[in-house]
Structures are given as C-alpha cells and as structure tokens.
Amino acid sequence: MAIKRIGVMTGGGDCPGLNPVIRAIVLAAHARGWEVLGIEDATHGLIDLDYRSPHGNRTITVRDVVGILQRGGTILGTSNKSDPWNFVVEKDGEETTIDVSATAVENYHKLGLDALISIGGDGSMKIAQKFCDLGLKIVGVPKTIDQDVAATDTTFGFQTAVQCATDALDRLHDTAESHDRVMLLEVMGRDAGHIALHAALAGDAHICLIPEIPYRVAPLVEKIKSRKANGHPYSIVVVAEGARTVAGEATYADKVIGEMPKLFGAAQKVCLALEPHLKLDVRSTTLGYLQRGGSPVQFDRILGTRYGVAAVEAVEAGKFGRMVSLRNHEITTVPIADAIERQRLVEPQGQLVHAARSVGISFGDE
Amino acid sequence: MAIKRIGVMTGGGDCPGLNPVIRAIVLAAHARGWEVLGIEDATHGLIDLDYRSPHGNRTITVRDVVGILQRGGTILGTSNKSDPWNFVVEKDGEETTIDVSATAVENYHKLGLDALISIGGDGSMKIAQKFCDLGLKIVGVPKTIDQDVAATDTTFGFQTAVQCATDALDRLHDTAESHDRVMLLEVMGRDAGHIALHAALAGDAHICLIPEIPYRVAPLVEKIKSRKANGHPYSIVVVAEGARTVAGEATYADKVIGEMPKLFGAAQKVCLALEPHLKLDVRSTTLGYLQRGGSPVQFDRILGTRYGVAAVEAVEAGKFGRMVSLRNHEITTVPIADAIERQRLVEPQGQLVHAARSVGISFGDE
Amino acid sequence: MAIKRIGVMTGGGDCPGLNPVIRAIVLAAHARGWEVLGIEDATHGLIDLDYRSPHGNRTITVRDVVGILQRGGTILGTSNKSDPWNFVVEKDGEETTIDVSATAVENYHKLGLDALISIGGDGSMKIAQKFCDLGLKIVGVPKTIDQDVAATDTTFGFQTAVQCATDALDRLHDTAESHDRVMLLEVMGRDAGHIALHAALAGDAHICLIPEIPYRVAPLVEKIKSRKANGHPYSIVVVAEGARTVAGEATYADKVIGEMPKLFGAAQKVCLALEPHLKLDVRSTTLGYLQRGGSPVQFDRILGTRYGVAAVEAVEAGKFGRMVSLRNHEITTVPIADAIERQRLVEPQGQLVHAARSVGISFGDE
Amino acid sequence: MAIKRIGVMTGGGDCPGLNPVIRAIVLAAHARGWEVLGIEDATHGLIDLDYRSPHGNRTITVRDVVGILQRGGTILGTSNKSDPWNFVVEKDGEETTIDVSATAVENYHKLGLDALISIGGDGSMKIAQKFCDLGLKIVGVPKTIDQDVAATDTTFGFQTAVQCATDALDRLHDTAESHDRVMLLEVMGRDAGHIALHAALAGDAHICLIPEIPYRVAPLVEKIKSRKANGHPYSIVVVAEGARTVAGEATYADKVIGEMPKLFGAAQKVCLALEPHLKLDVRSTTLGYLQRGGSPVQFDRILGTRYGVAAVEAVEAGKFGRMVSLRNHEITTVPIADAIERQRLVEPQGQLVHAARSVGISFGDE
C-alpha cells in the first residue's frame, strides 16, 4: 500500500531529543511525498478530534521543524494521562477512568492515516501494541530518559540528563570543599539507577545510592568519616529517587517523617538519616525537572535523528508492530512486544559498578 | 609603615568570584614583595593557630593561585559560624557560644600580620569593624551573592547566580510548554529579591514573587487562568526564598503544613496554595546550592580581580577600616561601617520592576 | 498625537540581545493597543515594499515573540549594506550606489507608521538622524557588540561576546599547558579593545593586544621568555582584530605576508612575528563569528528588555530624535546626534588596564 | 611478578579525557598498593631523566588527582615530537633526528618500573609496540579525538569535540539566518570525517564535506541556490580539515591561492570557491584548538575512567602488549599491533551518512 499520510505523536514525560525525532520524521516523510499529521498531547488529539491545545492536531510542514533540532520538549505536546483504555475524565467533580479506545481507533481512520509513529516509553508502547492488535499500523520509537528499556542499547535524553546532573555535581563540589560539607544530589531513577551511576562516575561523587543496590546507613557514615580522617572533610553523594535501604533497616528519617513520607524525597531522607551521625553539615538538593528540559546534547540530537529516519523507513517497509532500536551502534527494529517486556536495570556485578568501586565510590552496601 | 606580610580570609557562604579576589590579592601583593598568609575557614585560622583543615593556615604563593581564576568556591575555606564574639563550641555535648575575640587579636599579632584583608558579607564586615576598633588593620571586600549591600553598586557572584537561575528557567520552559504545566523555581533571596527579579526578566517568567512585594494567591490564579484563556496553558513562576503573602493572608498551604513549616520552602508553599484553584499540574523545583557553585561568569571574574587589586592598594595607602566598592563602574573605598548599615532591597517602584511589569510579569500584588 | 502603529527595524551586524529588544517593544506596544510592523533586513523593507526576505515586512504579534528572548540574531533580519543615501545596487554587472532616501521616507508614510524604532549602531544612528531631519519620528536603541558608543554606559551583546571569548580562553589554557605552547586568540574590536581587555582579565591571559595601546614585538618575546624562565613555559595571548604595532615598527610578519595582507588577521601576524624569536610552538585561533551568535547571557536579555520598554515609552512621550541609554544603572534618553559623535575607547590609563597590569598582563608596550 | 611501581605517560595531541584516565589509573593503582610515576611530556621524561618541565617526572599521589576529572588537557604534559627512534634535536642550529630508543629503554629500568601504561594515538601505539619488542611491559590506552582507531568502538575526547563543534554551529545559525549568509565551519579531521559528520547531524548543517566523500563545487552551489529558492537564503556548511575535491577538479580557490596553499584551511578554500557563484556573503570560521580543550563531557569522563581502571587491571593480569578497547559497550583488550593496523573512516554507505542524506544534508558529491 502506498503511504500518503502518517501521524506522529509523543507520549509520557518530555525528554530532550523528542523534537529531533519529530524533525527527522517530517524531513524523511516529505522527501517521500508523504503528509505528516501531528497528533497533539500524546493520544489526546486522537481521542478527541475537537480537543484544542496550543500544539493542535495539525499538518507539520518542513517549515514547522526549522530550528527545533536544538530545542528540548516536544512541539506536539505530551501527557502522562493518555491511556485510552483508562482515560481520566472528571465526573461530578471526581476523577474517574473510562475506555475510549474505540473512539481513538475510529478517529485514526477518520483522520485518514496510513500509519502512525508513536514515540514514547513503556506505557506508550503498551498502548501501541493494543492499537496494533486492533489493526492500526504503528511503528514505535523508544523514549525513556532513564535508559531502562532493555530492547535498545540506549535512548535519547539520557546523555543530556546525565550531563545536567554532572554539571550540577561540578557546582556542588565548590561549596562542599569550601564549607567542609556533605552535599547530596537527588537525580531521576525510580526503578533504574543509570543516571545516578553515570553522574556519580562523571561528577566525582564519593557515594552513589541506586535502587538496584540497597544501602545501609552505617557504611555511608563510615565512608564519610574515613574521607574526613584522610584529609577530605567533605563528601558528594548522588541519590537516585528510587534509592532504598536494605529490607528491614529503618532509618532515623523514617521515624521523624513517619507521617508525611510522600513529601520527602530520597535525598532528604538520606540527609536526615546521616545528620545525627556526623559532625558535618549535610545538605541536599533535588535536581527535579531541570533534568528533563534543556537543549539536547549532540549525542541525543543525532540518535533522535537516526530514530526518526529509521521510523519512516520502517513505515515504508511495512514493519508495523515494530519499534526502532539501537543495537551495537546500528539501528534495527524489534517487536514492540519485546520492548515492553524487559526493563534494563543497573547490573550490580557489571562493569560500570565495578569501575565506580575501583575509583572509590561507595554504594552503601559494604 | 612598610607592609611585609598580609593576611587574607573569606567568610560566610561561598560565592563565585572569591577565588578571583584571592588570586588578584596574591598577584598584586607579590608584585610589591609582600608575603600573603591565607587564614583558613573564615576566622577559624585566626582563633586557633593549631586548627587544621585541608585549607590550612599557609603562605599563598603565586603558584598556588595558578588556575583558580575560573574556579568557584574559595581555596581558603569558609564558614558560617565564625563570629569570635559568639564562637560556637561544644560543651558537655551541647552547643554554646563563647567570646574568643581576644585570642583572635593576639593571634593576628603572633602571625606577624601588618594588615588583613577580609572578604565577606554583612556579618564578616561587622566582625571586621570590631577588630578595627581593637586596633587591627583591616581592609574589607564585600561579598554577597544576593547583591544586597547598599554600599556598593554590585558584588561578584550575583551575575553567576542569575545566569544559573536563568539557565534553569530555560530548561523548565521546555517541560512547561510540552506538558501544559505551571512550573515554579525557587531561587535565593531571603530578604532581597534581586536574583528572583533578574532571573524572571532574563528567563521569561510570567510571575515573580519577592520579599519586597508581598503577594496574594488570587491574582496569581487569575494570571495563570488568563494566560490559559489566551492560548498559553502553561506558566513559569520564580519564587524568592523569602517571598511572603500580604499580612494576614493565610494560604491553603499554611493550613496543610501547619505542623512542619520549616521543612517547606517558599515555592512548595506557593505550589500547595495554587493547586486547588487550577486544573493544571503545578510542580516546583528548588535551585538551592546549585546557585552558589560553578565557575564564575566573566563579569564576576573581572569584578573579583578589580576588588582584589584595589584591596591591596588600599592596604598600601593605609586605608584601614575601609571597604572596596564599585560606584558607577569605578572602584573606590567606603567606611566599613557604612557597608553594614544599609541593605539594598528591590525598589517596588524602581525601573526593573517597572520593566518587568511592562513585559507582563505579575508580582501577585494586583 | 495618538500612536496606533509603529515600525521597528534592526541594522548592522547581528548581536545577542536584539531579539529581547524586539520582544519587549512588541509586548509594551501591544499593552498600549499599538500595532507593530517589523521592517525587514534593516532598511531594505523600507526602501522596497516589494522586497521579500523570509523575515518579511510583517505585523509582529505577541505570539510571534514567544520564545525569542533566549535566541541570538534578529527575527527581523539585518544587513550591513543599508544606507539609503548610499544604497548598493547592481548595474551592468557592477556594484554602484544610489540615493533612495526619498523612497524610504515615502514608504514610511505609505506604511502608515506613527513612529519608528531603529535598533542599530553608529551607522544606523546616522541614518536615523538624517531621517529625523526629514521629519520621520524615530527613537533609537544603541547596538554595538564592541561597547564603543560613548553615549551609553554599556550595550547588549557585549557581555555575551566577552563570555564567549572567556570560554574559548578557558579551553586554550588546557592545550597551552599540556603542550607548553603559546596560544593566541583573536577577538573582535577593530577600533576599541573592550572585548579583548575584558576577555584577557576574565580568561587569565598573559598578554593583551588592543588598538588603543600599540605594541612592539620585543616586549612580547621578553614576557613569554620570562614566564618560561619562571616555570610557566606556556602563554595565552588575546589579540583584538585592530591590534597594531607602534608606528614604524615592521614585523617579520609584515615582510613575509607583504603580498596578501588582507587575508591575514591580527593574531596570525603576531603569530608569525613571534615564532622566529621563540623555541616554543605558537598557534593562533580566530574566534570570528562565534562571538556574534549564541543565546544572550542574562545580562544582555535584561538590558535588551529594558531598552525595548524604554523605547516604547520614549515613543509615547514623543521623544523623537532621541536614543535610549544606560547611565549609572538607570535608563534615560540622549539625543541621537550625541550618540554618533563620540566613540568609547579603552582608556590606556583607566582602572581596567591598571587592574590588568596589576595581575601581570602585558600590553606589549613596555 | 608482583607489581610495585608503574609508569604512566600521555602522548600526541591533548584530548579531553586524558586526566580522567590518569586519575583512574592512580586511584586503582593505589588501591593495590602500587606507586605511580608520571612520565612527563610524552616520552621526554623517559628519554632524558634530567629533563625538567613544569609537569615533572614525579610520583603521582591520590591527592595529585583530586579535582582533575573535570579538567581538559593532561597533567603529565604531552608532545607531538616524541618518537625515540626519530627524536628531534637541534644541532648546529638545524633540526635533525637521532635514535635515543636505547636510552629510553635503559631509563625505564633505571626508574624501577614494573610496567608502563602508555596513553596515546596511532603514533604512540607504534612506539609502544617497539618498546614491547625490546622487552618493556606496556599496556596501551587508545587516544584519538578523531575516533579513527578501528580497534575500539569509540575513544574519549570525541564526544567533547563534537559537542564543541555543535555549540559553534548553533551560534553560526543565528548570524546566518539574520544576515542571509553562507557560514562555513572548519572542524578537525584530516583523514577521517567523523567529527564533521556528527557535528553536521547535530548542528543542523545543510552541507558536510569530509575526506571520505570528495566533493565538487557545482553541487554545493546548486544546494545553496535551491535552499534560497525555497525561502531559506542562508546555509550552514561543515568542512573537515581534510575535505577535498574529486580528483582533477581544480577550484577557483586553487588558482587564487596557488602560491601560499599551506596557509589556507579547507574551509577558506571552499569559501573562495563558492563566492564567485553566489550572490550571498560567504564567511568561514575555523574552530581550531577550541575543539581540543575544555572540560570533558560526562561521556568522556566515564570512558576515560573505565579505560584507566581497565589498564591497571590489564597490568595486574600481565596482559602486556595489549591495549584496552571498548567493544559493544564492554571494555576488553586487543593486541597493540591490531590498534595500529587499521584506521576507522566514515563509511560512505553507512547508516550515519544515510541518515544525514535523509534529513537533507548534501555531501557535495551529487
């Protein structure tokens, strides 16, 4: 079947590199004479054709993508609440979820789409798979700032986020050394500690706490005291947001903040846990949304561009139900189903953790 | 009296530009054949000659300052607890304060200092004045990242901090626009809103909350809703840490967090106050210590260098009890006493606030 | 007279901060209910109403200026060949100049402009003055990346350019120190050495050559050899593009490159002049156009915004024939005629040169 | 044999990431109780034990490597003239080369080295191989900013250089668009066009000229004219320093600059070649040494750290004559001999060139 018109949408949290993907799709599609329809705010533009955000369901021309290669975010808008099978709506002042998948499928046809490229994470790929099962022609592009999709070697946004965290650590070093302080930095990573591990290696951290390696407070205190005894009365600690203590170990923080735990981040908890044991100021900073935005670093611009071109070629080749993927520096495709299945976590026995330990980084486990 | 040996110390919170000052002092002093003694960790090296931090009381040579022009922090170390008249010590497991000023004065003479250059903020200048009253020969160099010392037009560190906050706002824009969110950024400024105001102007913020202009919640909600109605369903809000509501206005946040107020920052409070009124996600980020560290921007390197050279010349000219100051682009000196007296706050009727209002920034007061 | 419609144009070399000025003008004008017409490519859009560049003569709306605060360049386009009294045209394959000023004046009225804001340098202000003499209502905004207009304390773009040059010097330090080399960096400044002087101070240069202080080769050689003898066998040299030797001193370079002098920059000449005298590698880099582009630093975004707001207020107040200006941190206006008259050069006896000499920077004059 | 003392040296052009390698070697070696001797200025410190640079042959302690992870250059110094078999010396005012390899071997033993880690490029690895043949125990670490060593997937410094070039392109875009100009940027790459290709993809270039794909002038002119006809009267061109025309095609530039060709870079030649064919300003900038210096990006810091740790482990395992290498994200070792043999060039039919063509980048070959 000759392709004439494709849709493209971005789902889940925004991530540096989304615009490069969109740009490459538009350029490669136009070179083939295809029209590209931007679906707005993840699936919102598919679910409700009258939905009007500033991003708008609209035809994306070559002129529309001039200058977006270097911009963070996504010109199509995105959303974390976009599952058509569990679509959040307000009813009598209460939030509830309904199934609007049939409408979405209907609108896909109404919009005259010959195919749809869905750029998104785990959640978006699950939705894409369900759509495929209902006959939609979808090619996936993986998006996870945490680099935790096992079906591809790496994803755009990750290098930008690690660079952002590394820059932050460089800054914290100045204050830590001037004031003889323990400085903690909380970075993204609920399930996977890749950002924290890479940032710790690149940002000269002394301690790195990640979900994959539960920590105890005692080794942390020991590490910091030992550094002080060796003439370095300051320490830098990177904490993934999903960092956790070994099972059963309650920290001082757990007791203090018992009532309002969800308002406290992982770094704040470590901060509260450490302070009673140290005669040093301990301060924490949460990098938060700063990691998501920003102009993508060159690596992510290039990877996004390659993914976009490959997605168009996959559409052309009729490889629906598949997701583009980077394997050993070459782009290929894998079944979307594979992408959903397996998460990539930090291997506690892997080379990177080993390298980190070799330069003296403690994971709080020994 | 011929100068042979001077001391130099840095006090209070660290600030980008301290190392450029130290470097310039060392280079200008050595050109005159003087020796420079670095006093460690603010007054600690003066109070206790046996005190040993990694920064160490030590002679600072020309070689020691190679490469520090571009580094944040201070190679001399610093401290927030350094008032010799209220020196914090531990006694029977409790913290208490004692007067060690006589020891400090004695050590000044023991160290054979002909003069002392004290780089610091309001607190350090008060201490310097007291030392002067006891006969020490001190020249001051103003340091405040908040730019709130009225006795000088500007101070080093401020431009670096504003740049850091502006870079953060550029990043938040990407996510805010992609997700149709309200993003808050808390920046430094307990009493003075200079950093917040400058960052808001440079970072394209829509709302700016500063201590000098108390806000109410209603105009904030209105501003955000009006933006949404005009096709911009996202907003960027800069919040100085000292931002406060108009007297008597309790926010929803005040009620919710009644019990643990000190754990909540100004931006978190605004966040909690706004959410019930908006059908938009509201998220806050606290820039925290990231504003203090980092390589100083060129402006702060140059200003620090000029201050350092001027401080050495003030010592040479016997201008003790005076502080270097920038007035209308030229370096001069003012009595240290003047520097303590008056804080520079944002003028609510001044040109900058006016410019901000003219480009549509709301201060939440109308 | 009530203002309904104003024009705005940018002339001369592009400069970081132009877009912030344009944005502020548009926001402040729209708040007054005025329409803003963007004149394209400096005066080209005024001279030829059928002229069509991508920047286009067009109405600039509030939506058009969203997101431009952080962008370098000018959305209106600009040109270095835009003098209506000496307008360059091609005739029989040859370039010649004609007087099209009458057409420009006529078009100003045809376009229904009540006033025109002209953002530009020395050349643009001269044109603006001539237009004023013919009855056009013009307010000027000064633009010079070199900071060489005496009628204002500073101009936008300058801080961004100095930061760019400083970043470059930070990079060159790494290689210079690793390889024991002499590294030269040529920066902008044909008549005025402000950028070179500031960059030398901020970038830890050892030699700074500017138009205002002619150099001789002998002191340069001596400075570099003396550094080597003191254990620093590398040197960093900043060269303004207008740097020149003292009258009558011909360098080796002058002889070697006699035939093709215009293809050689100032730094290359110094490079060729130094090499025969040193047993060190000497390498030069020309920063060139990298200094003009780039996202403006926060200072330039704020200054541009203030200028833009002030220009609209000057139009409102009927202050035609005047240019906005920064005087001792406050915005004011001065006659455009004043702005043309006097160039600001580096004062060889001024505080900045003195500070530079005090930290050991040689100007090659002694 | 138990290792007690190892040497480490860096050779060839400096490269961001060298200091991270040195730091990791020192940390991993000290954890094993080994001493580390820094050999100064590539082989110079091995050839002449009395040679004294500021880098000095010296024991490198853990304290010496604090803070160097984020610094460009090499604390050990380096040199491009360091082949002991063809060592450059001055004799009767003339440069000549002699064989000092025997002395170097002798000194290796005199210094009491149990092994030597040599960090360097093609040239350094050839020397290392010859030393191995004479019985020295050497482990290699690959270093090439051009990423042109086929025996490893990638090398540190490359990502930093590409980021630097990308940042430069972002800046040139502003001026190119504002002035409707053709802007050329010359980047490193004498034999291999990896930096140029990556920068072109990441920096939104329209033309990319690399050694592997010879260009003709006609297609370049056509591309630029076609862009202008489509409403984009500006173009960005990336030129590798080794870019060349197809055999036999002499350009206008070749004729004009016939006499002084070596003073002209590749971009200047393209510039001269294009100008007569276009009614657009054409300007070139040479990035030069700015690409070599600067704080390494996070990727290069991590890769350098991994290489350093792996080199120490290779020494421990007695894997002499081998070089560490990255293969499919994992560190391994390969024979040094392999590393010398094969250069990695850009594959004209590879995925990256294909992706570049797909987004409209012209290579001037068609």
Q: Which of B60-69, B164-173, B243-252, C29-38 has the lowest mean pLDDT?
A: B243-252
Question: Judged by CB atoms within 8 Å, which residues 142-171 of A form the interface with D?
Answer: 153, 159, 162-163, 166, 170
Separation of alpha carbons C259 and A190, rounded Å:
67
Looking at the complex, report in whole angstroms how far the Cα of residue A287 sits from the nearest Cα belonging to chain B.
7
Q: Could you tell me which residues come within 8 angstroms of residue D267 by beta carbon, excluding any fewer than 6 positions away?
A: D184, D185, D186, D237, D239, D284, D285, D286
Mutate to test the interface with A, among D172, D295, D298 (most CBs of A within 10 A): D298
Q: Write the CA distances from C281 to B257, C267, C276, D80, integer angstroms.
A: 65, 14, 10, 11
Cβ-defined contact of C301 to B329 (cutoff 8 Å): no
Check whether residue C32 and residue C45 sit in a common domain: yes
- Chains A, B: CB contacts under 8 A, how many? 117
Number of continuous H segments (helices) and E segments (strands) in chain C: 12, 13
Cβ of A64 under 8 Å from any chain D Cβ? no
Check whether residue C163 and residue C262 sit in a common domain: yes
Average pLDDT over residues A161-170: 98
- Which residue intervals of chain C are DSSP H helices? 18-31, 44-47, 101-110, 122-133, 158-179, 194-202, 217-229, 252-256, 266-274, 298-316, 336-341, 351-358
Average pLDDT, chain B: 93
The verdict on residue C340 lying in a domain is no
Cβ atoms D13, D19 nearer than 8 A:
no
A44 has pLDDT over 60:
yes
Cβ-defined contact of C351 to B330 (cutoff 8 Å): yes
Q: Closest Cα partner for B342 from B365, B360, B361, B323?
A: B323
Check whether residue D95 and residue D177 sit in a common domain: no
Check whether residue C176 and residue C322 sit in a common domain: no
- Chains A, D: CB contacts under 8 A, how many? 111
The number of folded domains in chain C is 2
Q: What angle do CA D203, B296, B320 make, to 5 degrees?
A: 165
Check whether residue D85 and residue D105 sit in a common domain: yes
Cβ-defined contact of A28 to D358 (cutoff 8 Å): yes
Cβ-defined contact of B171 to A294 (cutoff 8 Å): yes
Cβ atoms C87, C98 nearer than 8 A:
yes
Closest CB to D298: pick one of A69, A163, A330: A163
D321 has pLDDT over 90:
yes
Average pLDDT over residues D181-194: 97
Average pLDDT over residues D240-254: 81
pLDDT at position D252:
61
Check whether residue A14 and residue A149 sit in a common domain: yes
The verdict on residue C240 lying in a domain is yes
H or E segment to which residue B107 belongs: helix B101-110
Task: Report the DSSP beta bridge partners of residue B335.
Answer: B322
Q: Could you tell me which residues come within 8 angstroms of residue C74 by beta carbon, excluding any fewer than 6 positions away?
A: C10, C14, C18, C19, C22, D178
Label residue B254 by pLDDT band (50, 70, 90): low
For A53-79, how does the pLDDT look when each residue is reduced to its tens digit (9 = 90+)?
677 789 999 999 999 999 999 999 999
The verdict on residue D79 lying in a domain is yes
ipTM exceeding 0.85, yes/no: yes
For C339-349, how does the pLDDT look when each residue is reduced to its tens digit (9 = 90+)?
888 899 999 99
Task: Write down how long chain B is.
Answer: 366
For C132-164, how does the pLDDT look when each residue is reduced to its tens digit (9 = 90+)?
999 999 999 999 999 999 999 999 999 999 999
CATH number at D182 reads 3.40.50.460
For A258-298, how does the pLDDT look when each residue is reduced to its tens digit (9 = 90+)?
555 566 789 999 998 998 999 889 999 999 999 999 999 99
CATH number at A79 reads 3.40.50.450
Closest CB to D288: pick one of C164, C179, C285: C285
The verdict on residue A98 lying in a domain is yes
Separation of alpha carbons C112 and C126, rounded Å:
23
The verdict on residue A342 lying in a domain is no
pLDDT at position A19:
98
Average pLDDT, chain C: 93
List CB contacts (< 8 A) between B119 and chain A.
Answer: none
pLDDT at position C258:
52
Q: Which of B58-62, B267-271, C322-326, D56-60 has the lowest mean pLDDT?
A: D56-60
Check whether residue C94 and residue C165 sit in a common domain: no
Closest CB to A175: pick one of B14, B174, B232: B14
Cβ-defined contact of D289 to C73 (cutoff 8 Å): no
List CB contacts (< 8 A) between C14 and chain D.
Answer: 174-175, 178-179
Separation of alpha carbons B87 and B101, rounded Å:
9
pLDDT at position A264:
77
Helix, coil or strand: residue C284? strand
C257 has pLDDT over 70:
no
Domain range for B254? 159-292+348-358
For C271-321, how does the pLDDT look when each residue is reduced to its tens digit (9 = 90+)?
989 989 998 899 999 999 999 999 999 999 999 999 999 999 999 999 999
Check whether residue B243 and residue B193 sit in a common domain: yes
H or E segment to which residue B222 belongs: helix B217-229
Check whether residue C260 and residue C306 sit in a common domain: no
pLDDT at position D254:
64
Q: What is the DSSP string of C299-366?
A: HHHHHHHHHHHHHHHHHHTT-TTEEEEEETTEEEEEEHHHHHH-B----TTSHHHHHHHHTT-B-S--
The verdict on residue A366 lying in a domain is no
Strand duo D115-120 + D138-142: pairing: parallel
B260 has pLDDT over 60:
no
Any catalytic annotation for residue D146?
A: yes
Measured torsion, CA atoms of residues A274, A275, A278, A280, in degrees rounded to the nearest 10 = 120
Cβ of B285 under 8 Å from any chain A Cβ? yes
Cβ of B230 under 8 Å from any chain A Cβ? no
Q: Could you tell me which residues come within 8 angstroms of residue A238 by beta carbon, excluding any fewer than 6 positions away?
A: A165, A169, A184, A185, A187, A196, A199, A200, A203, A205, A207, A208, A209
List CB contacts (< 8 A) between D150 and chain A.
Answer: none
Looking at the complex, report in whole angstroms how far the Cα of residue D248 sits from the nearest Cα belonging to chain A.
32
The verdict on residue A113 lying in a domain is yes
For D15-70, how does the pLDDT look when each residue is reduced to its tens digit (9 = 90+)?
999 999 999 999 999 999 999 999 999 999 999 988 766 777 899 999 999 999 99
- Which residue intervals of chain A are DSSP H helices? 18-31, 44-47, 101-110, 122-133, 158-179, 194-202, 217-229, 252-256, 266-274, 298-316, 336-341, 351-358
Check whether residue B43 and residue B151 sit in a common domain: yes
Closest CB to D159: pick one of A28, A299, A331: A299
Q: Which of B280-284, C330-334, D105-109 has the lowest mean pLDDT?
A: B280-284
Label residue A183 by pLDDT band (50, 70, 90): very high
Q: What is the DSSP string of D234-298?
A: -EEEEEETT--BPTT---HHHHHTTT-GGGS-HHHHHHHHHGGG-SS-EEEEE-GGGGT-SPPPH
Check whether residue C47 and residue C9 sit in a common domain: yes
Check whether residue B197 and residue B210 sit in a common domain: yes
List CB contacts (< 8 A) between B310 and chain C.
Answer: 355
Q: Which of B90-99, C105-114, C212-221, C223-232 has the lowest mean pLDDT?
A: B90-99
The verdict on residue B202 lying in a domain is yes
